[in-house]
Each structure stands twice: as C-alpha cells, then as structure tokens.
Amino acid sequence: MAHPHIRLLATGGTIAGNAGSAIERGYRPGQIGADELLAAAGSLKLAATFEGREIAAIGSQDIGWAQWNALHAEIVSAMADDAVDGIIVTHGTDTAEETAFLLDLTLQAGKPVVLVGAMRPADAVGSDGMRNLANAARVAGDPVAAARGVLVVMSDQVFAAIDVRKAATGGAEAFRGFPRGPVASVTPTSLDWFGPPDRIGREARFAWPGALPKVPILTAYAGMEADAVGCALAGGAQGIVLAGLGQGNAAGPVIEALAQAGVPVVRSTRVDQGSVDRNLEVDDDRRGFVAARGLGPAKARILLQVLIASGIDRPETMQREFDRR
C-alpha cells in the first residue's frame, strides 16, 4: 500500500525557530524553511511522502489577513489536487487556535488539515518540534481525520479546532481543549481516536470572506470605565468582543455603553475555561448581546468577524451560530 502524500504549508513559528544554543531561552521564530523541516522529517523515515510550500516565516503573533488569505487558498488548492492526501500547516503556538478555528469555519471536510507547532525551538535541548511533526503526519495521513474538521496536534494529543486553546506560556504540554479535551492520542507509530467522526460530507460552514472586519477585544477589569467602548468605536470597530469577568460581565457603565454601541457585541470571559450563557448575569435579550457560550475571546472574535463578513448581524441569528458545535 502506497504511503499517503502530504503537503506541508509552512508559516514559521517556534517549530521553525532557532536559538543558536541548546540552552538559550530567547530564539528567533521562522528561521527554518519548509524544505529544511522536511529534510529533518525525512531522517525519521515516516510512513508518508511530503512536499513543502512556504507561506510565511513569522512568529504567529504577527499573523493576519494576508497570511490567512494565502494559507486558505493553498489549502483549497491542495484539497483539489488528487495527488495530495493530507495537509499539514506548521504554525506558531500563540495564535494557532485562531488560525485553526478560522479554517475550520471556512473549509469543507475534504481532506485532513492539521496544524502543528512546538513550544521549544528546533535547536533547544528537548525540542518537541520533530515529534509533533511526526505525530501530525500520522494524523494527516489518516483518511478518517478528514471528517473531523481542522485539527491541532501537540504533545501526543489531537484537538478539534473549536475546542483547542493555549493554556500555558511554557512547557511542551501547553495546549488544552474545552469543553472537550483531546479527541485522540497520537504517537509517530499509533493513532487512537476517542469517538467517531462528526463531519462526514459536511460543506464549509461559511464562504471564505473577501476581508475580515475590525473587531477588537475589550478585557474587563476592576474599575474599568466606559470610555474603553468609545475608544474602540472611534477606532473603527465593526463589532466588539467583551472578555468579561466571570460569566462575561463588566461594570454597569461598561455594559450600558456596549448596549448603546450600535455594533454587534459578544460577551465572552477572561476566565481560562467555562461557558458564558445568555441572560444569567446580564440581560442579553434587552441589550441585544450575544453570549459566546464555550468560545474564549480569541475564537469568539474570529466567529464574529466571519458572521459580520457574511452579512449576518441580527443578534438572534448570531446566537444560533455561537450555540453550534
């Protein structure tokens, strides 16, 4: 049986980073190109064949519309190529959850799409990059992975894009999933799914937008004043996500300013995990807010941007999209 053929799309990040020393804390992301990554992977003798393409060579803190637009186009092209069985995207860990979720919302369930990164640069002692890449190849080469949406592989675990988040600033096991944990465990020689696929034959949830609207995240804090809302609107905000206290709350004047903002408002939470439900502490029905439910602020922003770009602006319609899994 022929090995699966995987197209690797490189965007930079720590997995492609060098520190110049095995024990140096600082490093430069995006120093290793796609060909060099694949040459290193070739020494592992993985049960797959590869080709690589360079999308960007940046730290993921700098990723934005230009890179997302190019990346989406390359993935669509790879899905249409009969010679390609799966797609791997190497990516920095800081915004991997946002890229994965944006792609998950806008790609059909055609071929496996797997994001992978590393918490330690390539030349660091104990670097996790090559093992994560080998694990990603195992997942991207499994046809069953195609019916599970976009996936993120880190530290011998597989996460669904809608669940995954970076939960620690350091350490190889920095990623978690909420409300589900990992959907599979993986090693370079094994892959164990924890449940059946749920995306069989599913088309893309949204069309790829021509652009993404400006949507800032306002983080609530004790003593926060309402002028933060005015500043966001003055800066051209077309929607606002509140990273609120507890159940997505904020000081009364802030809540009232958001209710009068004239743009869609989604209440999420600055708490590490948990659901923000409608009308629990805030009267969403009266104020026209949307509750983020299980999405944290970063992914709530992505979904709100896609909804606005798709012409969806009624709170009740937006809420149905935030309620979906």
In a domain, 12, yes or no: yes
Look at residue 211 and tell me if it is in a domain.
Answer: no
pLDDT in tens, 229-266: 999 999 999 999 999 999 999 999 999 999 999 999 99
Q: Is 169 a catalytic residue?
A: no
pLDDT > 90? residue 126 = no
Out of 14, 90, 99, 269, pick the active-site residue.
Answer: 14
| Pairwise CA distance, residues 276 & 267, whole Å | 7
Mean pLDDT within 67-93? 97
| Domain carrying residue 298 | 217-323
User: Same domain, yes or no, for 10 and 146?
Assistant: yes
* pTM for this predicted structure: 0.95
Residues 184, 227: one domain? no
Whole-angstrom Cα distance, residue 99 to residue 183? 19
Annotated binding-site members for substrate:
60, 93-94
pLDDT digits (tens, 9 = 90+) for 279-302: 999 999 999 999 999 999 999 999
168 & 230 share domain: no
Mean pLDDT for all residues in the chain: 94
Give how many domains the chain has, as a whole number. Answer: 2
321 has a pLDDT exceeding 80: yes
Burial 200-232 (b: 16+ CB within 10 A, else e): eeeeebbebbeebbebbbbebeeebebebbeeb
Look up residue 181 and give its two tokens.
Answer: 């944990």
205 domain-assigned: no
Whether residue 212 lies inside any domain: the answer is no
CATH number of the domain that residue 257 is part of:
3.40.50.40
